[in-house]
Amino acid sequence: MADSTNKDVEKNVSRRDLLKVGAAILGATGLTQLFSLNSLQVRGKEIPDEGGRKWGMLIDINKCIGCNYCTYACQAVNNLADDMLYNVVTAEETQSGEEYFLSRPCMQCAEAPCVHVCPVEATYYRPDGIVEMNYDRCIGCRYCQVACPYGARVFNWKDPIELSPKSPDFGVAEVENRPRGVVEKCHFCSHRIDRGLEYGLTPGVDREATPACVVVCPTGARVFGDLNDVESPVSKAREEAIVTLRLREELSTEPRVYYIPPTTKKTGPFAGEGES
């Protein structure tokens, strides 16, 4: 008798417990849904476009001959070892099978995934749109590398080198060495831009104030300047170009590097070649 009553009690308790746990799980599900929806709407702090300078680049794929000088100049100026590449030149194909060279600096996105994900704000937008690194703050978690759709970020796996192998042929180191264990990236040679502006030079026009890759390019495939200034070389070139495109535009990262796609405008040193 007593035994069966006990059993009943235990059963009841157990059922109530089950209900409690069930309700708790349902509540938990609701909470996770709430949190996950919120976290999916992640957007970093945006600096309003004040109509000030916004540095941008235009790369004419038709003019690029794949010489890699942009990469080498970048390595010399930023004092990079051979396996550290801010800028990459690759051979690609159009859908019709035509080969071309695609050179890729950092896109300096207006909606940069790397800025959104950095846990310590070590990477940030400068007011002029350049996405720059605070190397003293970076913890080396490499989330930005994972987030960047362009693979534009490089991690300092090793200790910095004394002298880049590309120096002095392609230039000399112009910026401080970064310590081992931080992520670094192309910064449109912001040190040149800042210094140049101090001396009243115009980035994109005066060599000293223009990114090294743009200056070194033997075919003038790269054009630099202020996207908000209609008189800047980059704005003029964009005006002239029939079509421009940006890489992976479907991701809404709003890159500030534009490309003139192959065959739409044949003005390079090999213009007309291969055409019959």
Partner 1 sequence: MLPDIHCPTIKLGKRSIVVFPYWIGLLILGLLFGLVGAFIVLRDGLHVTGLSNAIPWGLWISIDLSAIAMGGSAFVFGVIVYILRIKRFEAIGKLAVLLGFLGYSTAGMVLLFDLGRPLRFWHPVVYWQPHSLLWEVTMCVVLYLSVLMAELLPIVLEHPLFKTHPWLTRYKALGSLMERAHSFAHSLHKAGPVLAVAGLTLSLLHQASLGATYSVLAGRGIWFNQSAPVQFVFSAMSGGIALLFITSVFVFRVMRPGTVSDSAIYDVARLTGGITLLLTYLRVWDWAVTNYYSFDREVFLQTQILDTIAPYSLTFWLGQALLPVIAGSVLLAAKSIKNFRYLMLAAVIPILAAIITRWNYNFAGLIASISYDPFTPGIILNSYTPTWVEFSVGTLVICYWLLAFSLAARYLPFSSGHDHH
d(CA 89, CA 104): 6
Which residues partner with 258 through β-bridges? 58
Q: Which one of 68, 145, 219, 264 is in contact with partner 1 (CB under 8 A)? A: 145
Q: Which one of 65, 67, 155, 202 is in contact with partner 1 (CB under 8 A)? A: 155
Work out whether strand 88-93 and strand 55-60 pair parallel, antiparallel, or are unpaired. unpaired
DSSP string, 212-228: HHHHH-TT--EEEEETT
- Binding segment for partner 1 (CB under 8 A), chosen from 36-44, 66-74, 217-225, 265-273, is 36-44
- Binding segment for partner 1 (CB under 8 A), chosen from 140-148, 190-198, 216-224, 229-237, is 140-148
Q: Can residue 74 be called a binding residue for partner 1 (CB under 8 A)? A: no
Q: Which one of 14, 52, 82, 271 is in contact with partner 1 (CB under 8 A)? A: 14
Beta strands in the chain (DSSP E): 55-60, 88-93, 99-104, 123-125, 131-133, 154-155, 183-184, 222-226, 257-260
d(CA 210, CA 197): 10
Q: Can residue 62 be called a binding residue for partner 1 (CB under 8 A)? A: no
CB of 53 to partner 1, least distance (A): 25
- Chain positions 94 to 123 lying near partner 1, rule: CB under 8 A, are 94-95, 102, 104, 113, 116-122
Q: Which one of 153, 185, 222, 238 is in contact with partner 1 (CB under 8 A)? A: 153
Q: Which one of 6, 12, 20, 218 is in contact with partner 1 (CB under 8 A)? A: 20
Question: Coil, helix or strand for 237?
Answer: helix
Q: Can residue 146 be called a binding residue for partner 1 (CB under 8 A)? A: yes
Q: Can residue 28 be called a binding residue for partner 1 (CB under 8 A)? A: yes
Find out whether the peptide bond into 261 is cis, omega within 30 degrees of 0.
Answer: no
Asked if 74 contacts 186 with a C-beta cutoff of 8 angstroms, the reply is yes
Q: Which one of 6, 240, 248, 267 is in contact with partner 1 (CB under 8 A)? A: 248
DSSP string, 103-146: EE-----TT-HHHHH-TT--EEE-TTS-EEE-TTT-----HHHH
Q: Which residues sit at the interface with partner 1, rule CB under 8 A?
A: 10, 14, 17, 20-21, 24-25, 28-29, 31-33, 35-36, 39-40, 42-45, 90, 92-95, 102, 104, 113, 116-122, 137-143, 145-151, 153-159, 179-183, 245, 247-248, 251-253, 259, 261
